[in-house]
């Protein structure tokens, strides 16, 4: 297992290289100019040219790419054009906020999805199933941009239980995490239901019930663990959705995360900062999926990682 | 049975949420005596030598003083300078006030002023302010309280050079600094700057604070306009200026704790033509477009009265303003006649062989659709192209458009006419005359305006400029955007400025939240 993980870590290198290259190509391909965005309307062409030179933006794109990669190899993400600060420092400032939000969203999703999925999967076609799956459809259908303000109005303005916006303690986290986690919860609940229904007809379940366990107890003790494999896969894959969803939620709740910084970096054509942010998102995604594989081995003894 | 359990779970979750919420409400978000202002994005820089965006300027002018300042009625007045002399056309002498202190206790001298300007003018400064100081040849400090500026040519708008916020000598570049911001001599000092979260200002301890004056200003970054409106309604935020959607104003007006202030502003919105397009070089076509836009209807309905119909770039607040210029009311019949004369006859469906591309950003898309509908009435097809901001801005600056609408913000001196309409300022040499407008008569006037120092003669020149611009129509003047502030009624003494300045925050007082919801 350790050897497997080491191999996977090395496999990160080509992934990072691919993402870095793709991002670099895309951001340089789209029209727009960081220097114009920064110096604005009234800048003299000589100043624009001077600044381009100073930032090395007047060099051939391939040369810029080479020095970008060289910096990356040293772990140096460069300096942000608009903030004039090291990209690594800026990302380090903001990344915890996004991780916190994504983790809370994931937690909310699990907390909602597991009871719902279990209720639905334990007795397919029953009232619990219909109710839970109805909720799931609603959860998938309501977009963040609508759910966020709705939760704000109910829980913050009307009931005054929770703060409206910003980052602070746990209370600040509740509404953004609910907004972010609901859609994922809906998907996971449906998946868990399907898996539970699938394992219900397996031999070991019949054996367990035959030995006198109630259907519910058998599902809880033996079925759930077997049904988890597919759910864990789904959670890993959906993390990408969680990170991009976080982008919108960050805007609504004034959450100082990486997503908002990425958006302003794109608007300013702040090349190094865009590259740094995208790379961070991509690596998070890859690492989480790696961790998912490791979790498989834990929940399912049949899976061995070599 | 099962449903009962679901119900129990739901109740348990709700109780958890209440508990969490109850904890959060105990700690106030900000101390009493603090004014909270919601802003849409973080200031890009807290160093006045580098910041050019509107939000940075609004905040920085509370922290940093400059040699001169623009008053509420658009006039230059001394700020750090108590007296200004112009001994010859290329020299301006500023005599500084004595005993002015930075927020760290140091006394301000002319060396600080010289340092500020020199660090911007240094070739490697990478400051966006440098371009605006291209006419400034040198800054000298002959004694502690005298600053002498020399310009390369006789330069009429030279006082604008004095608008730069002053930092103490030796202030490092932003990238090398760990402080929130350099100290300034303004009424406030910056205590903290948290990117994309908030900026906190406290009183400058070396300046007298008015009795009862607000002790702290908290600028909170709230990107979503609906949420900004909610925070005002809720009493969390005390003031929002020029960043709310016109559609929520009636709703905010209904709140008894809030006052909506809608006062004249100087931000100028215009419709620009590209003169490289031969159809648009025809004055009749430009005028037809002007006559077919029902500006009054747009201002009254879409903008809910938050703008004034414009006659030109300069607003009536300017000393050089002239109002009796050619104006273009809504007159579709006249527009049709002009288009017929220009040879664009309407087909059987009422449409003419005139199709223009109108570039805009997502924020401007609604307005673009209104123009599209209005021009259709006279038989002109408008194709709206909505582009993401950086792409749009790049296109506009390169003159790569047919029609577009934008605004000029912070027009203080009529010398802006030179930047906007002089042939020399067209791309690729310049980037501000984006429509490639070129008229020798206009060039002669705006160039003379740059060199003429005598106020009466300057006024005469710009009167002719304004009349010519209205006749020849390089732009269709649409409207001047009002300064719209929504504020807590407990906030006393706030004075909106036509240019959106928040300078009056130095004098405001925040009454004890009597009866009103205490700040959360």
The structural domains of chain B, with segments of one domain joined by +, span 2-40+187-257+489-510, 54-175, 265-481
Q: What is the pTM of this model?
A: 0.82
Q: pLDDT confidence of A152, banded at 50, 70, 90?
A: confident
Tokens for A146, please give them: 């609508």
- Whether the upstream peptide bond of residue B428 has omega within 30° of 0, thus cis, is yes
- Taking the mean position of all CA atoms in its chain, how far away is CA A144? 14
Establish if B175 touches chain A: CB-CB under 8 angstroms. Answer: yes
Report CA-CA distances (Å) from B382 to A222, A265, B297, B375, B389.
Answer: 66, 32, 19, 7, 20
Return the residue in A38, A43, A80, A114 with the most chain B beta carbons within 10 A, the one to mutate for interface testing. A43
Using CA atoms, how far apart are residues B85 and A26, in angstroms rounded to an integer?
54
Q: Which residues of B touch A267 (CB under 8 A)?
A: 388-390
Q: How far is CA A186 from CA A113, A120, B20, B113, B199, in A?
A: 6, 12, 24, 61, 38
Per-residue model confidence (pLDDT) at position A41 = 62
A133, part of any domain: yes
Domain count, chain A: 1
Contact B142, B198 (CB under 8 A): no
Q: Answer whether A36 sits within 8 Å of B24, measured CB to CB.
A: no
CA of B44 vs chain A CAs: smallest distance (Å)? 7
Rounded to an integer, what distance in angstroms lies between the CA atom of residue B218 and that of residue B37?
6
Architecture of domain B54-175: Alpha-Beta Complex (3.90)
Number of neighbours of residue B79 by Cβ within 10 angstroms: 24
Residue B59 has pLDDT above 50, yes or no: yes
SS3 A68: helix
Is B353 in the A-facing interface, judged by CB distances under 8 Å? no
Inform me whether the pLDDT recorded for A201 exceeds 60. Answer: yes
Residues A259-288 pLDDT 10s = 888 988 888 888 889 999 999 988 888 888
What pLDDT does A6 receive?
83
Chain A contact for B432, CB < 8 A? yes
CATH class of the domain defined by B2-40+187-257+489-510: alpha beta
Scanning every residue of chain B, which has its alpha carbon at the shortest distance from the alpha carbon of A167? B197
Contact across the interface for B431 and A41, Cβ inside 8 Å: yes
ipTM above 0.90, yes or no: no
Chain B contact for A208, CB < 8 A?
no
Predicted local distance difference test score (pLDDT) of residue A304:
66
Confidence of residue A42 (pLDDT cuts 50, 70, 90): low
The answer to whether residue A23 is domain-embedded is: no
User: Where is pLDDT greater, at A27 or B370?
Assistant: B370
- B183 to B27, B54, B196, B213, B219: CA distances (angstroms): 30, 20, 21, 20, 18
Mutation pick from B22, B223, B231 vs chain A, by most beta carbons of A within 10 Å, is: B223
Q: Evaluate whether A78 touches A68 at the Cβ level (below 8 Å).
A: yes
CA atoms within 13 A on the CB side of B456: 0
Q: Is the pLDDT of residue B10 over 50?
A: no
Task: Report whether pLDDT(B13) > 60.
Answer: no
* Local structure of B172: helix, strand or coil: coil
Most confident of A62-71, A137-146, A189-198, B198-207: B198-207
List, in order, residues 6 or more apart from B512 with CB less than 8 Å away. Answer: B32, B490
pLDDT band, very low/low/confident/very high, at A132 (cuts 50, 70, 90): confident
pLDDT in tens, B83-121: 999 999 899 999 999 999 999 999 999 999 999 999 999
In chain B, the percentage of residues whose pLDDT exceeds 70 is 92
Convert A244-262 to b/e letters by CB count within 10 Å (16 or more is b). ebbbbbbbbbbbbbbbbbb
The pLDDT of residue B333 is 95
Distance from CA of A45 to the nearest CA of B (A): 6
SS3 label, residue B121: helix
More confident residue, A160 or A101: A101
Binding-face residues of A in 184-203 toward B, CB within 8 A: none
Domain range enclosing A291: 87-299
Residue A130 is assigned to a structural domain of this protein: yes
In a domain, A153, yes or no: yes
With contact defined as beta carbons under 8 Å apart, do B406 and B363 qualify?
A: no
User: Which residues of chain A have a CB within 8 Å of the CB of B129?
Assistant: none
Task: Return the CATH number at A166.
Answer: 1.10.3720.10
- Nearest neighbour of B397 by CB, restricted to A36, A164, A167: A36
Q: Is B197 on the interface with A (CB under 8 A)?
A: yes
A50-64, A198-212, B196-210, B505-519: which has the minimum mean pLDDT?
B505-519
Q: A149, B394: Cβ pair inside 8 Å? A: no
The domain over range B265-481 is classified in CATH as 3.90.1640.10: no
CB contact under 8 A, A152 and B227: yes
Given this model, what pLDDT does residue B58 score? Answer: 92
């Amino acid at each position: 297992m350790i050897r497997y993980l080491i191999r996977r870590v090395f496999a990160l290198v080509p992934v990072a290289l691919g993402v870095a290259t793709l991002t670099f190509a895309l951001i340089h391909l789209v029209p727009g100019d960081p220097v114009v965005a920064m110096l604005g309307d009234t800048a003299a062409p000589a100043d624009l040219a001077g600044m381009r030179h100073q930032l090395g933006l007047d060099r051939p794109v391939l040369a810029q790419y080479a020095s970008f990669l060289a910096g990356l190899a040293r772990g140096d993400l460069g300096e942000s054009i608009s903030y004039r600060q090291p990209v690594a420092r800026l990302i380090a400032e903001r990344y915890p906020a996004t991780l916190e939000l994504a983790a809370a969203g994931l937690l909310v999703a699990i907390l909602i999805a597991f009871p719902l999925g279990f209720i639905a999967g334990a007795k397919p076609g029953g009232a619990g199933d219909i109710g839970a799956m109805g909720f799931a459809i609603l959860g998938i259908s309501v977009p963040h941009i609508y759910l966020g303000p709705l939760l704000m109005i109910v829980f913050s303005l009307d009931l005054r239980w929770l703060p409206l916006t910003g980052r602070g303690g746990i209370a600040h986290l509740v509404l953004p995490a609910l907004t972010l986690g609901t859609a994922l919860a809906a998907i996971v609940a449906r998946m868990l239901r399907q898996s539970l229904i699938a394992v219900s007809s397996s031999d070991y379940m019949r054996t367990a019930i035959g030995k006198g366990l109630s259907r519910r107890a058998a599902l809880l003790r033996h079925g759930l663990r077997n049904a988890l494999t597919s759910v864990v896969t789904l959670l890993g894959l959906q993390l990408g959705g969680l990170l991009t969803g976080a982008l919108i939620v960050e805007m609504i709740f004034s959450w100082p995360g990486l997503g908002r910084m990425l958006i302003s970096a794109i608007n300013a054509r702040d090349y190094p900062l865009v590259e740094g942010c995208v790379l961070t998102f991509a690596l998070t995604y890859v690492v989480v999926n790696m961790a998912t594989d490791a979790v498989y081995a834990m929940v399912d003894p049949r899976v061995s990682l070599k | 049975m099962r449903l009962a359990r679901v119900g129990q779970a739901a109740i348990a979750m709700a109780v958890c949420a209440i508990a969490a919420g109850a904890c959060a409400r105990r700690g106030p978000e900000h101390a009493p005596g603090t004014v909270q202002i919601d802003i849409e994005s973080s200031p890009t820089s807290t160093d006045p030598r580098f910041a050019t965006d509107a939000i940075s300027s609004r905040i920085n002018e509370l922290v940093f003083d400059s040699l001169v300042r623009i008053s509420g009625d658009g006039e230059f007045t001394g700020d750090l300078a108590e007296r200004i002399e112009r001994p010859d056309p290329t020299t301006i002498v500023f005599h500084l006030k004595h005993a002015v202190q930075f927020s760290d206790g140091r006394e301000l001298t002319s060396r600080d002023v010289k340092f500020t300007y020199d660090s911007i003018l240094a070739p490697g400064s990478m400051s966006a302010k440098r371009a605006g100081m291209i006419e400034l040849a040198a800054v000298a400090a002959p004694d502690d309280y005298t600053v002498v500026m020399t310009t390369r040519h006789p330069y009429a708008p030279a006082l604008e050079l004095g608008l730069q916020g002053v930092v103490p000598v030796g202030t490092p570049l932003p990238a090398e600094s760990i402080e929130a911001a350099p100290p300034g001599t303004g009424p406030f000092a910056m205590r903290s700057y948290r990117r994309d979260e908030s900026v906190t200002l406290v009183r400058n301890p070396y300046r007298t604070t008015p009795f009862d004056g607000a002790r702290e200003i908290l600028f909170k970054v709230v990107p979503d306009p609906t949420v900004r409106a909610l925070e005002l309604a809720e009493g969390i935020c005390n003031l929002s200026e020029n960043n709310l959607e016109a559609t929520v104003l009636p709703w905010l007006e209904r709140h008894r704790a809030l006052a909506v202030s809608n006062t004249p502003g100087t931000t100028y919105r215009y419709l620009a033509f590209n003169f490289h397009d031969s159809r648009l070089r025809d004055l009749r076509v430009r005028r037809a477009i002007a006559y077919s836009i029902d500006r009054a209807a747009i201002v009254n309905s879409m903008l809910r009265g938050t703008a004034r119909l414009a006659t030109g770039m300069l607003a009536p607040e300017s000393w050089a303003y002239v109002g009796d210029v050619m104006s273009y009311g809504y007159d579709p019949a006249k527009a049709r006649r002009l288009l017929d004369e220009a040879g664009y006859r309407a087909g059987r469906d009422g449409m003419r062989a005139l199709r223009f591309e109108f570039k805009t950003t997502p924020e401007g898309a609604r307005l673009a659709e209104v123009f599209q509908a209005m021009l259709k009435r006279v038989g002109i097809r408008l194709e709206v192209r909505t582009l993401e901001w950086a792409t749009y801005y790049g296109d506009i600056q390169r003159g790569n458009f047919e029609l577009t609408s934008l605004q000029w913000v912070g027009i203080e001196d009529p010398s802006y006419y030179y930047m906007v309409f002089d042939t020399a300022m067209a791309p690729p040499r310049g980037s501000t005359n984006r429509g490639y407008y070129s008229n020798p008569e206009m060039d002669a006037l705006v160039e003379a305006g740059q060199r003429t120092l005598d106020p009466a003669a300057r006024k005469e020149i710009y009167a002719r400029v304004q009349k010519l611009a209205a006749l020849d129509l390089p732009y269709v003047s649409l409207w001047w955007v009002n300064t719209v502030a929504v504020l807590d009624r407990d906030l006393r003494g706030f004075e909106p400025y036509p240019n959106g300045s928040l300078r009056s925050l130095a004098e405001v007082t925040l009454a004890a939240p009597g009866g009103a919801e205490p700040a959360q």
